[in-house]
Amino acid sequence: MKLKRVLASALLLVTLLTLPARAAQASGAKGEANITPDTPMAKIRSNPSVMGAGLYTYNQEQDTPRDIRKWKDTTLREYVNDCTAEDCAKGLNRMIENYNSGIQITYKLYTDEEIAAVPTRQKAEIYYFPGRDPGGKFVLVIGGNAIHTSAEMREGVSTAEWLNELGYTCFVLRYRIGDQAADNAPLEDVSRAVRYITEHAEQFHVQPEDYAVLAYSSGGQIAGLFASDSDTLGHKAYGVSKPGALLLGYPVNNFFELKPVWGLLIDPYADGPRYFDYNVSDYITPDYPPVYHWYGKNDVTLAKMYTPAQGRVIEKALVKNGVPHIFHHYHNAPHKIGPGRGTDAEGWITEAVAFWESQTAAKAADTAA
């Protein structure tokens, strides 16, 4: 009964949170693109264009009114962090300008019938950040999560801004986490996002082939499994094409001793292993897509999951299987820094995109030959 009351309260809260956005969409109201890193979250959320765009901005709260009150008066900088605030503010302003010009930002990934069958699918959606070069390749951005905390703004919007500056169209994924992530839901959401974008490639003005997946932290673990040729966990299992490259920032390879904890919190009734039980390194084969990955020596989060079981193990698997890749192990690159301004990792996205382009160009040349 207690679980039912919690779920009912969460559903009510989600409904209440979506009401302002629906009202803004219905009225056609527009807000100014004047967000800075020091803008309070309450002001950002009351901006008619942010509400109308439909971006999910409650990424720190744990779905309780108390948490919402706690965070509403904090600034964007306090809400995300110093490394991502500047890019996040610019990304939000770009989104506002896009919305004000008539561009749809939010796209649901499942039909009404599919959501009725599995209500948690209501959460899954993508946010569209069009680039300046129509017809180019696209990037799917997957932020990390910590059971109740997601990173659509800190890692998603900030990364979208960086990619937009480089000319690329990208889509920030909001996927199911926590007790909504049962039955490998995150993998289903990633595959559905790829399917939706590629099936609507002409509408989004992108190429459906050779897309990149840029992912962080636990999102990197999800992306790593999705990119594999596993018949049960990878892209083949969902009937979508393989990424042209994986671009990973501080990815989790092995949840190590946290696996039973995640099992109890996410999928306590599972009758077999779930996505968080698997290690990315175990699913790297010679057919794996090219990989750019990095993490920092001062990454406390990965240290809690036993650092020797993380990035270095992925690196060894890539070398063993002859997968084209670039690996960086930075001195100063903590967790949760996204594009990494002010750290050793700053500029990594530019280098990673160049690597992706070189790999797809080499693939095209081989095919032509």
What pLDDT, in 10s, does the model give residues 132-167? 988 999 999 999 998 888 999 999 999 999 999 999
Would you list the domain boundaries of the chain?
Answer: 75-368
Which CATH superfamily hosts domain 75-368? Alpha/Beta hydrolase fold, catalytic domain (3.40.50.1820)
Q: In this structure, are residues 221 and 255 in contact, taking their beta carbons and an 8 Å threshold?
A: yes
Token pair recorded at residue 324: 């084209």
Give me the long-range contacts of 300-307 (CB less than 8 A, separation at least 24): 300/334, 300/335, 301/217, 301/250, 301/335, 301/336, 302/250, 302/252, 302/335, 305/252, 305/254, 305/255, 305/256, 305/257, 305/258, 306/254, 306/256, 306/257
- What pTM was computed for the model? 0.91
* pLDDT at residue number 284: 98
Cite the beta strand spans of the chain per DSSP E: 106-108, 125-129, 138-142, 169-174, 212-216, 245-249, 291-296, 325-330
What pLDDT, in 10s, does the model give residues 197-256? 999 999 999 999 999 999 999 999 999 999 999 999 999 999 999 999 999 999 999 999
* pLDDT at residue number 148: 82
When the pLDDT of each residue in the chain is averaged and rounded to a whole number, the result is 91
Tell me which of 76-85, 252-261, 322-331 is least confident.
252-261
What pLDDT, in 10s, does the model give residues 250-274? 999 999 988 888 888 888 888 888 9
DSSP-based three-state secondary structure for 125:
strand
What pLDDT, in 10s, does the model give residues 161-194? 999 999 999 999 999 999 899 999 999 999 999 9
Token pair recorded at residue 125: 């959606």
| Helix H or strand E segment including 189 | helix 185-199
